A = this chain, B = another copy of it.
Amino acid sequence: MFCSWQINLYFCIHFNLSRQKHLKMAKEITSREENYSQWYLDIVKKAQLADNSAVRGCMVIKPYGYAIWEKMRDQLDKMFKETGHVNAYFPLFVPKSLFEAEEKNAEGFAKECAIVTHYRLKADPDNPGKLMVDPEAKLEEELVVRPTSEAIIWNTYRDWIHSYRDLPILINQWANVVRWEMRTRPFLRTAEFLWQEGHTAHATKMEAIEEARLIHDVYARFAEEWMAMPVIKGVKTENERFAGADDTYTIEAMMQDGKALQAGTSHFLGQNFAKAFEVKYLTEQNVEEYVWASSWGVSTRLIGGLIMTHSDDDGLVLPPQLAPIQVVIVPIPKPEPELMLVADAIADKLKEKGISVKIDTDDKNRPGFKFAEYEMKGIPVRIGMGKRDLENNQVEVARRDTKEKTSAPLEGIETYVEKLLADIQANLLQRAKTFRAGHTTIANSYDELKEALDGKGGFVYAHWDGTTETELKVKEETKATIRCLPLDGEQEEGKCIITGKPSKQRVIFARAY
């Protein structure tokens, strides 16, 4: 029999053990090797980035995930404004007759449109307390929930543009769009997503092309400098182009499973929308011309790319430039007053440097649990400090990317951390570049292409004859698509690995999200 303290002890131990086990289980995630796809879903869930919703294919972006999006949005918005763009807002709905005006665009999106047909509910006479769509409130013309806004915007631009003096128009909008996707995955592919879409109007073809390229550069710079995600800048093939575009510029990133992610696109739209919506202007020479256009967008998909570029089997890894919390300070073993005094002082110094800091004030959980928690959330730097550390005038600094720990002197800790954050940012980019280099193949035959795709995966540079036929054949046989015709680097001529016909440059084949 147990005496009472034994029972208590038993309970305590049992409780702690089961609690520890519960906690451990709550934090365990599938490893990348075991199941890459599940690993991704586990991170989205355990790092509290997003949640499923009651609406098929739509996610709830949780506060921590949204905070990352806010950082992305603020920086992109700054870059757009620095390059002369302004924001505006156009309606969520597109009347069907406008939607179908640019035929290629309409055809491209028709199969995935949410359609509003009625504008009222009424009490259901057969089901007390329930509602039904009121058949008398049917719209004369159905409304498409925007999958993209070219149609509604170019219909508006017709009223805004009369003379060359009204050009260029350099407008961006931050909005939600809906594409009824059958297979969804949080951030990467959801029925509703958040994005920005730029829609510009120009007097000349060259100006519209320059605009599309300018934004292509902005996207690439954002991906590399802020997301620490290296990208290949290139042009899409005709088959992979945006519906309604004459050219689509893309940035393509490589995920840790070797698959490509199209991370942002910028389109030269020619005069396609101007012609569909009769948008003309008078030139300085008083001649009537159709207007030239570009459009461009990045979305919450970038968060999916961010996760899959840097994270590991312990959870999310965030580049400091986009981390909502850059540094967490953990008093060890608990937030006692004398430790808190020092924590506050460190936090103040870091904040003065513009570094975002959280002090852990939780007195219930143990340090090990907390450390795992902050690792799961990808906080770039963790400062741990116990009494002995302080006696030695130092703290323990752990970096999330490499998981290295070092002791650092309290004196000048803010400069040390500032440099460390820059190091982490640079290291993440370098690590991703090294990974990409290790998963890039130059293939000189179809067999080499297949071998690379089925082997290490990644990007395969190969010659292609420029035809959609060949492109589709490869896609059907290997599930790889042409991600882009890269714009940077050497342009080497050769022969198509499939047909042997002449090729002007190698293109990038990869399996993609």
User: B55, B86, B88, B103: which contacts A91 (Cβ < 8 A)?
Assistant: B55
In the complex, the answer to whether A178 meets B111 with C-beta atoms within 8 Å is no
Q: Are B86 and A61 in contact (CB under 8 A)?
A: no
- With both chains docked as a complex, state the minimum distance between the C-beta of A247 and any C-beta of chain B, in angstroms: 24
* CB closest chain-B residue, reference A156: B60
* Distance to closest chain B CB from A456 (angstroms): 37
The interface bits of chain A over 82-117 (1 if a CB of B lies within 8 angstroms of the residue's CB, else 0) are 000011111111111011100100100011111111
Question: What number of copies of this chain does the assembly contain?
Answer: 2
> Please, how many angstroms separate the alpha-carbon atoms of A155 and B87 in the complex?
33
Q: With A88-B63, A143-B114 in contact, is A119–B180 under 8 Å at CB?
A: yes
Q: Which residues does chain B contribute within 8 Å of A178, judged by CB atoms?
A: 92
CB-defined interface of A1-15 with B at 8 Å, one 1/0 digit per residue?
000000000000000
CA distance A111 to B92 in the complex (A): 20
Find chain B residues with CB under 8 A from A472 CB.
Answer: none
Chain B residues lying within 8 Å of A171, measured Cβ to Cβ, are: 63
* A100 near B131: Cβ-Cβ < 8 Å: yes
Tell whether, in the assembled complex, residue A115 and residue B133 are in contact, meaning their CB atoms are under 8 Å apart.
yes
At the interface, yes or no: A70 with Cβ under 8 Å from chain B? yes
> Which of B110, B176, B180 sits near A92, CB closer than 8 Å?
B176
The reply to whether B51 and A159 form a contact with Cβ atoms under 8 Å apart is yes
Please measure, in the bound complex, the distance between the C-alpha atom of A89 and the C-alpha atom of B90, giving whole angstroms: 20
Q: List 30 A-B contacts (CB under 8 A).
A: A53-B156, A54-B95, A54-B155, A55-B95, A55-B152, A58-B91, A60-B88, A60-B89, A60-B91, A60-B156, A62-B88, A66-B86, A66-B88, A89-B194, A92-B145, A92-B178, A93-B192, A99-B131, A100-B131, A106-B121, A110-B121, A110-B122, A111-B120, A113-B119, A115-B118, A115-B120, A115-B121, A116-B117, A117-B118, A175-B176
